[in-house]
Structure 1
Amino acid sequence: ADLRFTPDEATAYLNGTMGLALTAHDVEALEERTEGWIAALQLAGLSMQGRDDITGFIAGFAGDDRYVVDYLVEEVLHRQPEQVRSFLVRTSILTRMSGPLCDAVTGQDGGRATLEALDRANLFLIPLDDFRRWYRYHHLFADVLQERLMAEQPDGVSGLHRRASDWYERNGERSEAIGHAMASEDFTRAADLVELAMRATRRDRQETTLRRWLEALPDEVIRARPVLSNGLAGSLLATGEIEGVEARLRDAEQWLETTAQATTRPGSSRPGMVVVDEEAFHDLPGAIAIHRAGRALVLGDVVATMEHARRALDLVRDDNHLGRGAAAALLGLASWTSGDLDAAYQLYADATVSFEKAGHHSDMIGLALTMADIRLAQGRLSEAMAILEHGSALALEPGASVRRGAADMHVGLSGILRERDDLDGAAQHLQRSRELGVENGLPQNPYRTRVAAALIRQAQGDLDGALELLDEAARLYVGDFSPDFRPVAALRARVWIAQGKLSEAWGWAREHGVTATDELSYLHEFEHSTLARLLLAQGARDRVDDSIDEAIGLTERLLTSAEAGGRKGSAIDILVVQALARQARGDLAGALASLARAVALAEPEGYVRVLVDEGPPIAALLKLAAKQRDASGYVRRLLAAAVMGGGGVGVEQPLIESLSERELEILRLLSGDLGGPDIARELVVSLNTVRTHTKNIYAKLGVTSRRAAVRQAGELHLL
């Protein structure tokens, strides 16, 4: 093959020599399609001359382009000896090649030597490893070879794929074996291979791959195989598709009903049924119950979830660790959703033991994330951190490949550090998650990452940036078995409230049907706490006591529910808004009492942001609390953090400390276009004096930037 163009050389040739005026994106796309092959770029340039839809042409540029075909056939294929030409055409079905694999496909010896000769001749062969044991053809060359194969040997293509499938199966590479069996349209063989590969595929959490295989098989093949019918039901559930699950479970169940009356071997109990994995067939009753529990959970039927999960635990063998782990986890999910956190945690712990015995480490990592979430709701940050650190160690175990879920452990750790006001540490964990990549994350990783980043932005006072990230998160959200206790819509509403955009926040409440008279549940606790903030903000803005009283009443109900369920983390959040509401109502003693309860729960575990994210209103209350005779050092720490800035409930509050006349004068100048030196000249003072006054202004307003100071001053009618 010819030498490669660099990207700059490709641009110069296509736009300079060929006069095509391609965009940088077009050149990059074409360079990728041709893999830099100079001749292919030249041929593509010829084909593009006179065309209008250049971008569309590049996207579809392949080995069937007439210039590419003519060149490769006339200049390459026809110049090869017949034996080499035959080798090239027949091995074109392979996406990667080794000597032994080529021997199996061609039915001849010498595959390794032929590949080495092609490599030395630079004949469109690309090595895939440093030892030059595995190769692939250049994409365009492979396209042409496959066209020649279909033209010359159409009846032989299936046989070539069958040979490749046999070789891959013998060498333990079932995924490749399945792919070639599918390509050969030998669906009986493909179904056998899929059934035998299902355990490993599920262990590696490759449910999307399993679903793709199963849906590629003819429906009559699936329906005759109860293990595959159940497998398809499970893969549909795992990939977020509820429709069709029950029908597939019934397909599997009908064979169980028939064989229950038979005494012969399951595979021969009724003509037409096919079973390859006998153990999986015997485990079907429990597996079907597990999938029914999962389906019920997705549909929001907690009672049915528990019934099916308990039935599964009764049916699954003691040594079927995967089945017992799945059933316990589903029962834990149902308990979690209903608010029984202690029961949920214990069930997850039981499931973790089962998954460890089954060798399903990725499932253990996923459970760690949920167990940490439970501990967070219970107000046990230290335990949550320990769980995530253990999960991270498991995901990044020395000597093993990175396990799926590794990235999510760092997202979880980021959230805990953010809550403890270690924003730098939180950002570092989030960056580590990004470095590990979505491929090492659970399905919700892109969503979780953006929510975590949004909360950091909020803590930094960048509310607009937080909203942008929450909007991204909403677009990336994919529902799964886990209940959504902190929906992004409610998080977005909290930011709107902090910005004073109450009409947008009321739109959220109406859209989601959140009212102060709803029956309370843990599942919707965060939303109702958000509504309490909205009622408070509206009442404070309009000077309407009824709205504030409604907020206080809602927080009292929420607090009773949270305390009854042992949810200290929730209780802190509720007590904070209750304190602010009582303050706005003029009940200073009640406000300080609620704040004291929140601080008492927060201090042992190091909670910070849940309080100080409320901004100037909580700072004003903390300042009063700090003056109390029995004020703890933790109150002063919280006050210092609150003064540094953040989000907050959009409630007009008094300043933490009154501004002096000079500070008011500087504040008015800050609202204009003058810079620091100009302000110093205007007031006939030194620049350092201006900076000192500015720093004091920021502290008293509870902000960290000039823009925020001006905005806050406007809201307080100081300008």
Structure 2
Amino acid sequence: MYLVAALQRADATIGSEALSLYSHHPEAIETALTALISDIAQAAPASDRVVLVLDDFHVIDALPVRQALGFLLDNLPERLHLLVASRSDPPLPLARLRARGELTELRAADLRFTPAETSAFLTQVMHLQLEATDIAALDTRTEGWIAGLQLAALSLQGRPDTAAFVQAFTGSHRFVIDYLAEEVLQRLPEPVVDFLLQTSILDRISGDLCDAVTGQTDGASMLENLERDNLFVIPLDDRREWFRYHHLFVDVLRARMLRGGRHSPPALHGLASGWYENHDLPEEAVRHALAAADFQRAARLIEQALPVMRRQRQDVTLLEWIRRLPREILVQRPVLSLYYAWSLLLAGDLEGVELRLADAEAGLRADDGDSHPDLHTDRDTEEFRTLPVMIEVYRASLAQARTDVPGQQQHARRALELSGPGDHFGRAAAGGFLGLAAWANGDLEDGLRAFGEVRTNLALAGNATDVLGTTVVLAEMLIALGRLQEARQAYEQAVAVATAPGEASRQPLADLHVGLGDLHRERDEHGLATEHLLAARALGERASLPENRFRWFTAMAKLQQADGDFEAALGSLAEAERLYAPGFFPDLAPIAAMTARIWIRQGRLTEARRWAQTRGLAATDALGYLTEFEHVTLARLLLAEYRAAHAPAALHASRELLDRLLQAAEAGGRTASTNEILMLQALTHEAEGRLDRALVPLERALTQAEPEGYARLFLDEGAPMDAVLREALHRGIRSDYVRRLRRAMLPTAAGAPDPGTRESGPVALSDRELHVLRLLTTELSGPQIAGELFVSVNTLRTHTRHIFGKLAVNSRVAAVRRADELGLL
């Protein structure tokens, strides 16, 4: 909002759409910035120049602000010039901008006064009568530092012995500032010092606010006098209504007040909080109430601000506030206890969630006549009336996090019973957990139906963000049913809605891109998969629901695994593990099991076996959908152990486990699991040397997989699968599909090129290889290309070697020239 207000001083037409987008959904900051950038580019003739200045940028430590500025820099219109003033290097891509010639830097040496400028400042601006030697001494000892010179000049005013002062003026910058500030304050009248100390608790000051804090009536005139006397008062607007103190100066004032005196900082903060509340500025009111340790007042103010701040997704600020409140006050404010429980659920602190829910229940039972009335929640609000429903919803979430599906269903049904006909959000939340329970039980069709109703209730509640967010759940169930095409359509439709003109609900957009990226990976469309994951990363965390943020890393891990870059994939899974929070979705593909699958492919069977033992997995276990992924992983491990040690018992255990898994998956209609199990059965027969038997389950898997576009399901299995596919092609089984799979498998399979392929070997490049080839035409170095592809340099070399072999060349330049001749670019 400040950015738009500043730019509108150059052109009043700039930023209206951006402000509208931001006011509805401040989390979609890049969407608003895109609209703003478009306005700037179109608002005025190209010859007009607009300079935007961001002052004191060193105080910005919020990552979203930094990311937003990076986005603005990357898309800066030609007519807009950005000027950043900061005490330290800002966290921006300075090296890249410097290399492109797009950065002008004025550093400390550039900003210091020259000796001539020091002389002009001291004599002409500050009106001091100084000898040239004294001016030179001050210039040397301050190194031309302007703030130090200003403080020195203020201290020198009215001194008879200026030379002695100049000679004593030594020390580091910090001590000089402290010393000079003391000198300045000691020479001021006591009422002025009193005013400065009392108002130093304020980050911005106005006459009326100063009067409220000091109890005086001359705040406006005092500020005018301070500005006129150059006492480090900086105006914040053209009307001279709002000011701030120079940062160095206010630090000294606050330090002096903390060392002792007749003013109580908490009392002053309390007065400021009251003023801000009366002027409908809730954020400042809360901040000063917390600084005053007036937690009763702070809790009331937070609760009043809660609905608006939640709609604006100011979750981080809210949680910082709530964490500073004592528990005894939270108990009396169940709405805040419930909101605190939500934050702990995001953090994965399940025990903490239980405590906060107990606090919320205690608050519901409390008699508000027994204690201070300011402690209690306003019981007429929608947030309070729906508390019983939402407590049951969170208990359902806790049960899900603990894989207690019956408990999850019990609490969700209770929430549904407690919700009224008009409580659309409560009914959606309760229905959602019933749908998630059906999903966890493997009843996917029931889960789809439940989430259809959930979406209807969310729409009636006006919660467009969560309507889009449920697309992830629906798509995951469709994928489990083997309906990849429907899942892709669901994602694409949601993306279209989220990016439609005027659409303000874009927060789950990154999650949608992640889902699309993973579907394209399965189809072996590596370029498209990468594009979607890059788009999700560029959108940032603000465009992702918190419970989904780990999914970017699991999707990237699978893409890296498809490249054969297993170490990078393990790193991505480690980051996914760090971000994962239980309690939102059933954990059907545990990250630890995904890690074990990579170990199996690497031949690290001892580590994979240790994982299975830690999980207590055995081939004779009772089966369920919640452990299906782990048991299929165990079957993979047993097969790998047979290949490594030729242990018949391991092969027998794998075969029997796969037979039982297949029966369970088919009974539940889970075609995705069925396809994988059939494929593994084929590989089990291949390991025994029985290719004829392998073709029976393989043909079933191919028949189900081809219409949906499965590819990586087979390609990731490497040489053993290539041997089975080669035999299938020889027998005429799904020839076109098998031929496509074998062509895509050529870079990694151990077999020779398929004689049945119609393309010549040198030009049969996969999507991934074509992507690499296009990057080879750029000026990027090898490590830079690897970074673009999210792979290691060694993996890039493998891709390049395959490309060179297919194009029959031995250099990058020759590869590009040959590809151009063949029309591959």
Q: What displacement does 1:612 show? A: 0.7
Q: Does the Cα contact within 8 Å between 1:612 and 1:618 map onto a contact in 2?
A: yes
- Alignment-derived partner of residue 68 in structure 1: 177
Q: What displacement does 1:168 show? A: 4.0
Q: What displacement does 1:393 show? A: 4.5
> Is residue 288 of structure 1 aligned with residue 391 of structure 2?
yes
Q: Does the Cα contact within 8 Å between 1:421 and 1:609 map onto a contact in 2?
A: yes
Say if 1:9 and 1:275 are closer, same or farther in 2 by CA, change over 3 A: closer
Larger CA deviation: 484-493 vs 313-322: 484-493
Aligned with 2:350 (options 231, 242, 249)? 242
Larger CA deviation: 93-102 vs 140-149: 93-102
Q: Does the Cα contact within 8 Å between 1:391 and 1:409 map onto a contact in 2?
A: yes
Aligned with 2:447 (options 344, 355, 361)? 344
Q: What displacement does 1:301 show? A: 1.5
Q: Return the alpha-carbon distance in structure 1 between the equivalents of residues 324 and 425 of structure 2.
A: 26
Q: Return the alpha-carbon distance in structure 2 between the equivalents of residues 589 and 479 of structure 1.
A: 44
Larger CA deviation: 77-86 vs 451-460: 77-86
Q: Deviations over 1:423-461 (max 9, x none)?
A: 111111111122122233233555322222222222222
Larger CA deviation: 417-426 vs 273-282: 273-282
Q: Return the alpha-carbon distance in structure 2 between the equivalents of residues 568 and 603 of structure 1.
A: 12
Q: Does the Cα contact within 8 Å between 2:743 and 2:754 map onto a contact in 1?
A: no
Aligned with 2:693 (options 580, 587, 590)? 590
- Alignment-derived partner of residue 578 in structure 1: 681
Q: What displacement does 1:343 show? A: 2.1
Aligned with 1:628 (options 718, 727, 731)? 731
- Alignment-derived partner of residue 465 in structure 1: 568
Q: Return the alpha-carbon distance in structure 2 between the equivalents of residues 619 and 630 of structure 1.
A: 14
- Alignment-derived partner of residue 296 in structure 2: 188
Q: Return the alpha-carbon distance in structure 1 between the equivalents of residues 551 and 591 of structure 2.
A: 10
- Which amino acid in the other structure matches residue 411 of structure 1? V
Q: Return the alpha-carbon distance in structure 2 between the equivalents of residues 434 and 451 of structure 1.
A: 13
Q: Does the Cα contact within 8 Å between 2:443 and 2:668 map onto a contact in 1?
A: yes
- Alignment-derived partner of residue 36 in structure 2: none
- Alignment-derived partner of residue 146 in structure 1: 254
- Which amino acid in the other structure matches residue 224 of structure 1? Q
Q: Does the Cα contact within 8 Å between 2:484 and 2:519 map onto a contact in 1?
A: yes
Q: Return the alpha-carbon distance in structure 2 between the equivalents of residues 357 and 453 of structure 1.
A: 35
What stretches of structure 1 of length at least 5 have no aligned partner?
Answer: 14-35, 44-62, 260-266, 647-652, 664-693, 706-719
Q: Return the alpha-carbon distance in structure 2 between the equivalents of residues 228 and 104 of structure 1.
A: 30
User: What's the TM-score, normalizing by structure 2?
Assistant: 0.65
Task: Output the aligned Cα RMSD.
Answer: 4.3
Q: What displacement does 1:541 show? A: 2.7
Q: Does the Cα contact within 8 Å between 1:616 and 1:656 map onto a contact in 2?
A: no
User: What's the TM-score, normalizing by structure 1?
Assistant: 0.74
Q: Return the alpha-carbon distance in structure 1 between the equivalents of residues 299 and 173 of structure 2.
A: 33
- Alignment-derived partner of residue 537 in structure 1: 640
Say if 1:421 and 1:287 are closer, same or farther in 2 by CA, change over 3 A: same
Aligned with 2:587 (options 484, 487, 494)? 484
Q: Deviations over 1:624-676 (max 9, x none)?
A: 22233353422221121122338xxxxxx876679xxxx9xxxxxxxxxxxxx
Q: Return the alpha-carbon distance in structure 2 between the equivalents of residues 155 and 120 of structure 1.
A: 25
Q: Return the alpha-carbon distance in structure 2 between the equivalents of residues 72 and 397 of structure 1.
A: 56
Q: Deviations over 1:164-201 (max 9, x none)?
A: 43454455543332222211222222121222333444
Q: Return the alpha-carbon distance in structure 2 between the equivalents of residues 524 and 178 of structure 1.
A: 47
Q: What displacement does 1:68 show? A: 3.4
Q: Does the Cα contact within 8 Å between 1:619 and 1:656 map onto a contact in 2?
A: no
Q: Deviations over 1:369-423 (max 9, x none)?
A: 2222222212222322233334445555644667433322222221111111111
Q: Deviations over 1:193-228 (max 9, x none)?
A: 222333444445555544443332233322333444
Q: Return the alpha-carbon distance in structure 1 between the equivalents of residues 692 and 528 of structure 2.
A: 37
- Alignment-derived partner of residue 253 in structure 1: 361
> Is residue 513 of structure 1 aligned with residue 616 of structure 2?
yes
Q: Does the Cα contact within 8 Å between 2:685 and 2:694 map onto a contact in 1?
A: yes
- Which amino acid in the other structure matches residue 298 of structure 2? A
Q: Return the alpha-carbon distance in structure 2 between the equivalents of residues 104 and 400 of structure 1.
A: 43
Q: What displacement does 1:315 show? A: 0.5
Q: Return the alpha-carbon distance in structure 2 between the equivalents of residues 388 and 301 of structure 1.
A: 30
Larger CA deviation: 445-454 vs 533-542: 445-454
Within 5 Å, give how 1:399-548 maps onto structure 2: 399=502, 403-444=506-547, 447-548=550-651
Q: Deviations over 1:552-593 (max 9, x none)?
A: 222222222222222222222222212111222233233112
- Which amino acid in the other structure matches residue 546 of structure 1? A
Q: Return the alpha-carbon distance in structure 1 between the equivalents of residues 459 and 502 of structure 2.
A: 18
- Alignment-derived partner of residue 315 in structure 1: 418
Q: Does the Cα contact within 8 Å between 1:414 and 1:452 map onto a contact in 2?
A: yes
Say if 1:422 and 1:433 are closer, same or farther in 2 by CA, change over 3 A: same
Q: Does the Cα contact within 8 Å between 2:561 and 2:569 map onto a contact in 1?
A: yes
Q: Deviations over 1:126-148 (max 9, x none)?
A: 96x99999776555444223224
Q: What displacement does 1:329 show? A: 1.9
Q: Return the alpha-carbon distance in structure 2 between the equivalents of residues 515 and 611 of structure 1.
A: 26
Q: Does the Cα contact within 8 Å between 2:506 and 2:543 map onto a contact in 1?
A: yes
- Which amino acid in the other structure matches residue 376 of structure 1? I
SS for the counterpart of 1:404 is: coil
Q: Does the Cα contact within 8 Å between 1:417 and 1:426 map onto a contact in 2?
A: yes
- Which amino acid in the other structure matches residue 178 of structure 1? V
- Which amino acid in the other structure matches residue 278 of structure 1? D
Within 5 Å, give how 1:28-107 maps onto structure 2: 38=145, 66-74=175-183, 89-95=197-203
SS for the counterpart of 1:243 is: helix
> Is residue 355 of structure 1 aligned with residue 458 of structure 2?
yes
- Alignment-derived partner of residue 283 in structure 2: 175
Q: What displacement does 1:306 show? A: 0.7
Within 5 Å, give how 1:374-389 maps onto structure 2: 374-389=477-492
Work out the percentage of aligned pairs sharing the same amino acid: 41
